[in-house]
Structure 1
Amino acid sequence: MNIDEDTSKWLGCPTPLEMYQHQCALLEDELIQTEAMLRKARANVAGLVQMNDLLATGKASAEAALRQALERNSAMNDEAPDNMSFRPIDLVTGQRDHLLRENQRLLMELKVLRGPHP
């Protein structure tokens, strides 16, 4: 029995050239997949940049509207007398209190006009 005999051709083992060619084919496939992923990533980045621009524009317009509202509010507070309020609940509360005092005053006048009860 001869153990030193080269059996690589018997088993169908590839030659070094065939191994290199196979490795090159694998690398080419990887490169094609990587290029596809890179194109997709570039498209995603372009979309994100566009979304960021839209958000920045929206943010700028919202900040401008906020500044205008704050300026109007400040102008209203500067123009309003100290005892006036622009909140509707404060206006209604003030009217209620005024009507209550007026009602009490009229009741007192009525009692005075009617005189004491016997």
Structure 2
Amino acid sequence: MNRYEIEDTDDWLGSPTPLETCRHSLRVYENEVQELTLQLRQAREKIFKLVEMHTEAISQRDEAMANLRERSGESAKLRKQLYDLDISARGHQREAERLRGILDGLTPQTKTVI
């Protein structure tokens, strides 16, 4: 055996031939492509579900914002009514005090004897 042919193992017992090596590599690549195709399909399904969830979340957000705007308008109306009632109550209280003062001036003060 020539010393330069030491790396040539084609004729060794149990060593795969170049054709067998190519076939094995081909099967490995086919399996890898199938696995990657499966993972890609699963990733696409997950992305589709995420897009649906995002669309639903946007819809719920828009609905909540509309509800919030409506409640904010109602709150503003109630604050205005409360303000008006407070002003009215103060006016009525001043009027009641004025009338009480007039009434106190008309009735004589009772003197308490001790």
Establish whether TM, by shorter chain, passes 0.5: yes
Query: 2:9 and 2:42 mapped to 1: Cα distance?
Result: 48
Query: 2:25 and 2:9 mapped to 1: Cα distance?
Result: 23
Stretches of structure 2 lacking an aligned partner (at least 5 in a row): 87-108
Stretches of structure 1 lacking an aligned partner (at least 5 in a row): 85-111
Q: Confirm whether residue 63 of structure 1 aligns to residue 65 of structure 2.
A: yes
Consecutive aligned runs of 4 or more in structure 1 exceeding 3 Å deviation: 2-8
Q: How many residues align?
A: 93
Q: Residue 102 of structure 1 corresponds to which residue in structure 2?
A: none
1:7–1:37 distance in 2 versus 1, CA, 3 Å: closer
Query: 2:43 and 2:75 mapped to 1: Cα distance?
Result: 47
Identity score, percent: 29
TM score, norm. by length of structure 1: 0.63
Residue pairs, 1:80-99, within 5 angstroms: 80-81=82-83, 84=86
Task: Deviation per CA, 1:45-89: give whole Å up to 9, x if none.
Answer: 1111111111111100100000001111112223333573xxxxx
Compute the displacement of 1:9 (Å): 2.3
Compute the displacement of 1:15 (Å): 1.4
TM score, norm. by length of structure 2: 0.65
From 32, 35, 47, the counterpart of 1:30: 32
